[in-house]
Amino acid sequence: MRFPALACAVLSAGSAHAASISVESTGPDKPPVVVVQGSFEGKDGEQFFTKTGSLTAAIVRLESNGGSLVAGIQIGETIRLKGLQTLVPAGARCASACAMAWLGGTQRFMGPGAQIGLHLAYNANSEQGTGVANALLGAYLNRVGLPLFLGIDAEGHKHPLGLIEGATENAAVVQALIDNLIERGLDPKVCRLFIVDGAKALSKVIRRTFGVHTPIQRCQLHKARNVIERLPKPLHASVRRALRQAWELGDPDKAERLLATSPASSNMRRPLLPPASSKGSARC
């Protein structure tokens, strides 16, 4: 499998050249083939959902250099929800957003000479990486059972380090991925900050491998989403704003006081921040 350096672009909806999506019959006793070709655009996720609405089994054949990350994820989620298989035919290329759709298959196939291109997301207008899009990408990969490890260099650039089939709740899967990273040169003796999605198995394996004092931080996007999902809809905007303001404060005590006055406080079974006993500076 090849991973050419192709970016997963985040494009605006409504572009004139959407992907071609068609359903082809292969015979009375064989599943149909859904053919997806061309650049992914904003509404292609909806188009794919509509055209596959009546299908209970199919092989999705993909050929594309990428395009809209959102469309790629939407197509991949529909593929996974319906239990469809994915295929990149012989000699074809499925890159970036297309690769996200391909990864949604319950079974994934590649023909001889096919290329699958994976890369981080970037904004098509600024040609700069976007943290929100990459968080969206990581959350999607986790939902389809493909935990992704990213590394962030001194300049703040993100680099994909490893991808494995499984889930972050599975300690054996996480340990296999980390072991692979170490085999490829990651030094477990170097102190690093790990940002995780909240899976307990993931934190357990990190501390077991890199040391009990390894600093671990919860991803803010995952935390905000988990909090907001448990609240009535009228509170979503105000709580999202309160969380963002608290995380931007340099003083943890001020952040706690801010969240204590949040409209969500009386609606939550648990506090928005961990108890005071869990405070303390991490050591390596």
Give CA–CA dist 215/190, Å, rounded: 12
Q: What is the pLDDT along the chain (284 residues), one digit of tens a residue?
A: 333 333 343 333 334 467 899 999 988 888 999 999 999 998 999 999 999 999 999 999 999 998 888 899 999 999 999 999 999 999 999 998 999 999 999 999 999 999 988 765 555 554 445 566 666 777 787 778 777 787 888 887 777 788 777 767 788 888 998 999 999 999 999 989 998 877 788 889 999 999 999 999 887 777 787 788 888 888 888 888 888 888 888 888 888 888 787 765 655 544 555 444 344 444 55
Task: Identify whether the C-beta of residue 84 lies closer than 8 Å to the C-beta of residue 55.
Answer: yes
For 54, the 3-state DSSP assignment is: coil
pTM recorded for the entire structure: 0.60
Structure tokens at 246: 């608290």
Q: Say how many C-beta atoms besides its own lie within 10 A of residue 104's C-beta.
A: 25
Give CA–CA dist 221/233, Å, rounded: 18
Q: How many residues does the chain have?
A: 284
For 189-239, list the strands marked E by DSSP.
194-196, 216-218
Give CA–CA dist 177/194, Å, rounded: 14
Question: At 156, phi and psi to the nearest 5?
Answer: 90, 5
Question: At 108, phi and psi to the nearest 5?
Answer: -120, 130
